Amino acid sequence: LDATGKDIATLKTGTWLNDEVANFAIGLLSQRAINSMPKGETQPKVHFFSTFFINKLYQDSNMYDYSNVRRWTLPKKLKYDVLRCEKIFVPIHQSVHWVLAEIDTRKKRISYYDSLLGESGVAVKNLKRWLIDEAKNKLNEDWDPDEWIEAYPKDIPLQKNGCDCGVFMIKYADYLSAGAELAFSQKHMEYFRRRLVWDIV
């Protein structure tokens, strides 16, 4: 993953994060998850998709197409099974707004974290379709879509401006993947922006 000075500039106060910075931050979280695995383990507890996953799944063509992402999760390529992870995180860019989807494979729940408390049945339902197709393709199992809960958490940290959604999305992924309480707020966003610059550099 690369991040140029132009990309890092999107972390300035009052600026929207771009895909490159978001993916760099998500990549750091993915590396953390792999590094934290016990010695000898090959199956991480969490998996992170890049921001381009949802684009290929349905956004680019405005039509769901599993074949576009089927090879993203080949066990031979990843060295583990994505659906055997406890949680899967999917960053989503909704036009001019960042949100996070969390797939909990144990609780069979898809949660949509939006710092403005918006909801997107389209995103959640397409992720549910992906789960069913992925289970059939990779595990040769028939999963029942009706067993999966769709959730839109409301008691979460919320943004108070129109530019910090990307940072909120990254921190949702950061805290949730670490099993931590979402103990941050708008007042911490400036610090998180500076911290991200430091982490990238």
Q: What are phi and psi of 87, to 5 degrees?
A: -140, 145
Q: Which tens digit of pLDDT belongs to each residue from 103-139? A: 999 999 999 999 999 999 999 999 999 999 999 999 9
The confidence band for 4, taking pLDDT boundaries of 50, 70 and 90, is confident
Q: What percent of the chain has pLDDT over 70?
A: 100
Please, are residues 44 and 37 in contact by the beta-carbon 8 Å criterion? Answer: yes
Q: Which tens digit of pLDDT belongs to each residue from 36-66? A: 999 889 999 999 999 999 999 999 999 999 9
Domains and CATH numbers, the chain: 5-200 (3.40.395.10)
Give the separation between CA 44 and CA 23, rounded to whole angstroms: 19
The confidence band for 2, taking pLDDT boundaries of 50, 70 and 90, is confident
Query: Annotated catalytic sites, by residue?
Result: 97, 114, 165
Average pLDDT, the chain: 95
**pLDDT above 80 for 162:** yes
Give the separation between CA 67 and CA 97, rounded to whole angstroms: 26
Token pair in block for residue 139? 């595990």
Give the separation between CA 1 and CA 24, rounded to whole angstroms: 6
The confidence band for 171, taking pLDDT boundaries of 50, 70 and 90, is very high
This prediction has a pTM of: 0.95
Greatest alpha-carbon span in the chain: 48
